[in-house]
């Protein structure tokens, strides 16, 4: 499964990505609270999005900060061509 398929298959992953893009930088606790998901699920989703290169997580003291790694991320479905993704840093 391509990364865009896994992201689109998860409403929670889309929500987490949207909140991170909107807020710029926030703690994991703030992120899961805004997304309305439990901390464990949020941690799993964030780790997956970090692996895909869409989020960056870093620690400042005891705080785990989450931020998008991009300025823009687009997924386009093109007739007779397939799917194209574009990540702009």
Instruction: State the CATH number of the domain containing residue 59.
Output: 1.10.10.10
Residue-level pLDDT at 71: 86
pLDDT tens readout for residues 31-66: 999 999 999 999 999 999 999 889 999 999 999 999
pTM for the full model?
0.83
Structure tokens at 17: 């990505």
Number of folded domains that form the chain: 1
Could you list the residue range(s) of the whole structural domain that residue 45 is in? 3-88
Q: Which of 76, 57, 55 is nearest to 4 (CA)?
A: 76
């Amino acid at each position: 499964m391509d990364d865009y398929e896994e992201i689109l298959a998860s409403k929670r992953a889309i929500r987490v990505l949207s909140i991170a893009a909107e807020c710029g930088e926030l703690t994991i606790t703030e992120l899961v609270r805004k997304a309305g998901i439990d901390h464990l699920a949020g941690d799993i989703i964030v780790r997956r999005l970090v692996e895909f290169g869409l989020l960056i997580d870093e620690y400042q003291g005891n705080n785990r900060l989450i931020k998008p790694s991009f300025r823009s991320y687009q997924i386009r479905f093109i007739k007779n061509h397939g799917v194209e993704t574009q990540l702009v840093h």
